[in-house]
Amino acid sequence: MIYLEQFTYLLASALFIIGLKYLGSAKTARRGNQYAMMAMAIAIVITLVVSGIAGPVQIIVGMVVGGLIGGVVAKKIEMTSMPQMVALFNGFGGIASTLVAYSEYLEPTTLPVTLDVNVTLILSLFIGTVTLTGSLIAFAKLQGLMPGRPIVLPMHQILNFLLMIGVVIFGVMYVMAPDIPMWPLLIIAAAAIFGITFVIPIGGADMPVVIALLNSYSGLAASATGFVLSNNVLIIAGALVGASGLILTQLMCDAMNRSLFNVLFGAVGTDDSTGDAGTGGGEQKTVTRYTAEDAAMIMDTVQSVIIVPGYGLAVAQAQHVLHEMAGMLTARGIDVKYAIHPVAGRMPGHMNVLLAEANVPYDVLYEMDDINDEFQNTDVALIIGANDVVNPAARTKKDSPLYGMPILNVDYARTVMFVKRSMGAGFAGEANPLFFDDKTMMVFGDAKAVVTGLVKSLKEE
């Protein structure tokens, strides 16, 4: 029986790996997801078969309740809310690990409990709980339940440090006297506070990094539980998720030219609402205001347009009408492409999903490195609801928080059109000098209203 169990877990692990490999290419991604699904089903079934179903009621109740909630959420969730959902699900992964580890503490599966089981149990409780509370804070920030700006407590880092020391001390006490129930509970409590103090100082704009990092933690929590139970499929699946989350974290940091350390401890960023930063340095410069009709007239004379969508587009729910406009331009023989900055949206790859939902085919979506050389041969760069990712200050202004961040070279296009709600600066609070450039047209207004106006004007011509 033990061989059957182990070999089936091995099969499941292999399927997880193949599934993840297929998830890496647009053509095979859906199949990859299905392979991972199969792997999960196999792992669940063999666990039930081998352990014998002693308590069918509780197992069915748990699976049905969880499955239903998950199913409903997956069906109903708006694509704009994906970051919140992933954040919350990361937290659920964390709490599941904590619960399993604590349950194992109460009723050990193998006796006597060895030192290494106890040590990995501490790890599992700690990582699981940090993932839970950290994810809940990330969720609250993204959902607007709490302010997105960084919250820094007095002596914040010292507090974090003390919490870590606390966990180590409680851990040592626990290992020395595992029968005293206070120690594991204290570990959980310290980890819970640490998860909160770890995420609250991180600004709303940096949430993509945090979600990716917590994604990684949720995997590591599963792995730690696998160590406790000596179960290889948990260790492998968890490690895969841990690695994947870590890579996405690194990619997001690179896209903002920030170190992970700076993101976690730098407390960078303003409120998540686009504050009215005005003209920044207080200099009186003028911008030229245009209307959607003016923009439509320009479109009449051009041959190539690159659209740069930002999160403002998604907030205004303008993806669909934008796709309609792009279709009209294409019908007139204009070459239309989309340029997607790696941190457009609120989580890695978010903008791609939002555009896909509006039926924009993925082969007109270009990554930054693939399209940046094309702006100089482009008539119009149309920037909708984005700012920081096209701010040339990132190239030149050394004291700017944006300095060094790779940006889309929209300023090389012949005409630059901004569709924006206000003159407000972006997350980074850095004014955009491009607003005042002679070749820049500023069209103020809600993205959806402006693009709808554009479509209307294009139709009338």
Partner 1 sequence: MESLIVSIYVFTLAVFIGFELITKVPPLLHTPLMSGSNAISGITVVGALLAANANNWKVSTVLGVLAIAFAMINVIGGFMVTDRMLGMFKKDKKTEKGA
Positions annotated as catalytic residues are: 388
Minimum Å gap between C-beta 221 and partner 1 is: 7
Whole-angstrom distance, CA of residue 260 vs CA of residue 265: 8
CB-nearer residue toward partner 1: 222 or 447: 222
Considering only residues 357 to 416 of the shown chain, the ones binding partner 1 according to CB under 8 A are 357, 359, 361-365, 367
CB-nearer residue toward partner 1: 228 or 389: 228
Q: Which stretch binds partner 1 (CB under 8 A): 158-166, 184-192, 239-247, 423-431?
A: 239-247
User: Among 67, 144, 278, 404, which residue interacts with partner 1 (rule: CB under 8 A)?
Assistant: 67
Minimum Å gap between C-beta 364 and partner 1 is: 6
Whole-angstrom distance, CA of residue 424 vs CA of residue 432: 9
Collapse the DSSP code of 93 into the 3-class scheme (helix H, G, I; strand E, B; otherwise coil) and give the result: helix
How large is the C-alpha radius of gyration of the chain?
A: 25
Question: How many other C-beta atoms are found inside a 10 Å radius of the C-beta of residue 291?
Answer: 16
Considering only residues 120 to 139 of the shown chain, the ones binding partner 1 according to CB under 8 A are 120
User: Among 8, 80, 84, 90, which residue interacts with partner 1 (rule: CB under 8 A)?
Assistant: 90
Whole-angstrom distance, CA of residue 301 vs CA of residue 298: 6
CB-nearer residue toward partner 1: 92 or 403: 92
Q: Which of 362, 459, 375, 355 is closest to 417 using CA atoms?
A: 375
Does residue number 331 form part of the binding site for partner 1 (CB under 8 A)? no
Considering only residues 186 to 225 of the shown chain, the ones binding partner 1 according to CB under 8 A are 211-212, 215, 218-219, 221-223, 225
Per-residue binder mask for partner 1 (CB under 8 A), 244-263, x = binder = xxxxx--x------------
Instruction: Compute the residue count for the chain.
Output: 461
CB-nearer residue toward partner 1: 225 or 304: 225
Size of the site for partner 1 (CB under 8 A): 115
Q: Burial letters for 110-129: b for 16+ Cβ neighbours within 10 Å, e otherwise?
A: eeeeeeebbebbbbbbbbbb
Minimum Å gap between C-beta 61 and partner 1 is: 6
Whole-angstrom distance, CA of residue 336 vs CA of residue 311: 20
CB-nearer residue toward partner 1: 92 or 444: 92
Tell me if 176 sits within 8 A of 298, measured CB to CB. Answer: no
Does residue number 352 form part of the binding site for partner 1 (CB under 8 A)? yes
CB-nearer residue toward partner 1: 59 or 176: 59
Per-residue binder mask for partner 1 (CB under 8 A), 286-325, x = binder = ----------------------------------------
| Pairs from 360-369 (Cβ < 8 Å, separation ≥ 24) | 360/319, 360/323, 360/326, 362/26, 364/326, 364/336, 364/337, 364/338, 365/338, 365/340, 366/337, 366/338, 366/339, 366/340, 367/340, 367/342, 368/339, 368/340, 368/341, 368/342, 368/406, 368/408
Q: Which residue matches tokens 């407590």?
A: 153
Minimum Å gap between C-beta 154 and partner 1 is: 34
CB-nearer residue toward partner 1: 29 or 176: 29
User: Among 348, 385, 406, 426, which residue interacts with partner 1 (rule: CB under 8 A)?
Assistant: 348
Using the 8-state DSSP alphabet, how is residue 431 labeled?
Answer: -
User: Among 8, 80, 93, 338, which residue interacts with partner 1 (rule: CB under 8 A)?
Assistant: 93
Does residue number 329 form part of the binding site for partner 1 (CB under 8 A)? no
Whole-angstrom distance, CA of residue 65 vs CA of residue 52: 21
Considering only residues 17 to 56 of the shown chain, the ones binding partner 1 according to CB under 8 A are 17, 19-21, 23-26, 29-30, 32-34, 36-37, 40, 43-44, 47-48, 51-55
Minimum Å gap between C-beta 100 and partner 1 is: 4
Q: Which stretch binds partner 1 (CB under 8 A): 13-21, 291-299, 311-319, 383-391?
A: 13-21
Minimum Å gap between C-beta 121 and partner 1 is: 12
Tell me if 390 sits within 8 A of 408, measured CB to CB. Answer: yes
Tell me if 428 sits within 8 A of 275, measured CB to CB. Answer: no
Question: How many other C-beta atoms are found inside a 10 Å radius of the C-beta of residue 274?
Answer: 20
Minimum Å gap between C-beta 235 and partner 1 is: 5
